[in-house]
Structure 1
């Protein structure tokens, strides 16, 4: 079983990246292979000029094809997910997430930013034909401390992450459902 993690923050380290690191460690402990990608793996000009033939993009797309699931993490800026992440998602082929289970996670300054998962990110993931998009995990900035080193999560956030990761693990463990297209 293989999972891709995608850090959608233009900053490193970041709170959303700390959540992704926790997810990666948790899945590795469950003997799930995790391939980590970060926006920094892509040349900015490849993203800005929509270079579909970028070697990094081609490698990412191939690994995504072979994966059972995707965990995507993003900060929320101005009531939406990161624009840098959007430039990458725009370059993915149609049906890139077909037969994939996706878990979105995000961090933001206020609880009002929580809606960005449902109203901004999930529609894009749906457009890429994700088989199943799980209920995401949103963290307010103050729920994550010391993220520059070894992140410390408030207990309630840690529990929500653990629950979401267990659901994700169960879903990616199920056989893929092949669906005929008309």
Structure 2
């Protein structure tokens, strides 16, 4: 069974991006993938910012990435780019840290003006880490997410498209193990 790791790079504990990461992990579990969710904001700041890969929490996070067959990168959009928190974590990975992995880039944001963050900011970093396959990325407008308690409800304008991207990601795990 493939292992998929969602890596969310939002600094906010009440992040829509993180909840969407949880949603994607649950959906992938429905396809019987073993899923985990690494919330970069929960890693200790000093070793993260100091690139202390020997720190136990940082070493565990890097090992989670190394053991995964698929990676979902979930980021909010800040200043027309992906989060600095996610970039800081990705910088800790070895140069070939995504070799043999399928990667699904996801971003949330308030305007379609930020749509290209995925292709012009995040995708080059993912490719530089040696990803085997980067599936179609997905940008989710903040206004397409409503909350029912702590659970996100994705509005129909985006729900079907996100389902298609998740299915495409699952197929990439199956066809290229």
Q: Report the TM-score, using the length of structure 2 for normalisation.
A: 0.94
- 2:115 counterpart SS class: helix
Matched, 1:6 2:15: no
**1:166 alignment partner in structure 2:** 167
**Structure 2 runs not aligned, ≥5 long:** none
**1:18 alignment partner in structure 2:** 19
Displacement after TM superposition at 1:148 (Å)? 6.6
Cα distance change on mapping 1:100 and 1:172 into 2, 3 Å: same
- 1:125 counterpart SS class: helix
Q: Is the 8 A contact 2:48 2:58 kept in 1?
A: no
For residues 21 and 99 of structure 1, what CA distance do their matches in structure 2 show? 24
For residues 136 and 24 of structure 1, what CA distance do their matches in structure 2 show? 16
Matched, 1:34 2:28: no
**2:76 alignment partner in structure 1:** 75
**2:47 alignment partner in structure 1:** 46
**1:179 alignment partner in structure 2:** none
- 2:96 counterpart SS class: coil
- 2:6 counterpart SS class: strand
Q: Is the 8 A contact 2:17 2:108 kept in 1?
A: yes
Q: Is the 8 A contact 2:41 2:85 kept in 1?
A: no
Q: Is the 8 A contact 1:14 1:147 kept in 2?
A: no
Displacement after TM superposition at 1:63 (Å)? 2.2
Counterparts of 1:1-182 in structure 2, within 5 Å, are 1-146=2-147, 149-176=150-177
